[in-house]
Amino acid sequence: MQFKTLSNGVSIPMLGFGTYRIDNADIPAAIQGALDAGYRHFDCAHIYGNEAAIGKAFKDAGVKREDLFITSKVWNADQGYDKTLAAFEQTLKDLQMDYLDLYLIHWPNEEDFNLTLDTWKALETLYDQGKVKAIGVSNFSEKQLKEVFAMAKVKPMVNQIERHPYKTQVELGKFDEDNDIVNEGYSPIGHGHFILEDPTINKIAKDHNKTAAQVVLRWHIDTGYVIFPKSSKVSRVKENFDIFDFELTADEIEAINGLDKDEHLNYDN
């Protein structure tokens, strides 16, 4: 496993397991399968509707809390200072935990960004209270990040954004890096059926004796992104974790970078 260090010194595993759209009935097997494969970083959110099932699955698995890195996010309807604090407590209750490793604002409020700034103040309070080890945002633009910088006591440590070979996010990614914000990429293979058939990626995969998905995930790691692919298939979960025994060359990374179409394949996280 490889790690990134957040601006406050917290270490985050670069490969995690995504929990978006996993049905509650499938959670126990999915979580146990991910743990068995080696995952310890899990990306969750209240809006996914499965945090209570995830919390129970961790309890049943008997895994030590300190061995996990758990992320959750405050949803749009819960933005605002007091509502965010309440939403956080509900997430802790659902996950059966007394702290989170990372808490994010899921989306900026485009119509009332002042509400989002109040939400950020709530995240700072939770951070000051030690209830969360790191705080950050998701789907924020450079402009929106600058507005947060202008009022923040604690700057965002993470920006989670859509990122895959057809949307490489060069400018925003560089802005984040320049401001000590770790980039996280969701939809890392862009729902696969487009990207995993790409001839360039498949040639690189053949050269490394890896799958197209493994090459794309390795590309994220080699370009500094934290990622959390999701699959309900045990074989795919294991395959996605098996990416630390090879590296892409500079030319291969450049070839994948060149596939960028600035194309959104997923607005959901």
- Which are the catalytic amino acids? 48
**How far is residue 244 from each of residues 174, 205, 214, measured CA to CA in Å?**
24, 14, 10
- Residue 17 is given by DSSP the state E
- At residue 82, what are phi and psi to the nearest 5 degrees? -70, -40
Residue with tokens 């984040």: 176
Cβ-based neighbour number of residue 36 at 10 Å = 13
- Nearest CA to 50 out of 39, 42, 62 is that of 42
On whether the CB atoms of residues 97 and 133 are closer than 8 A, the answer is no
Beta-carbon-side half-sphere exposure of residue 52 (alpha carbons within 13 Å): 4
Question: For the chain, what is the radius of gyration of the CA atoms?
Answer: 18
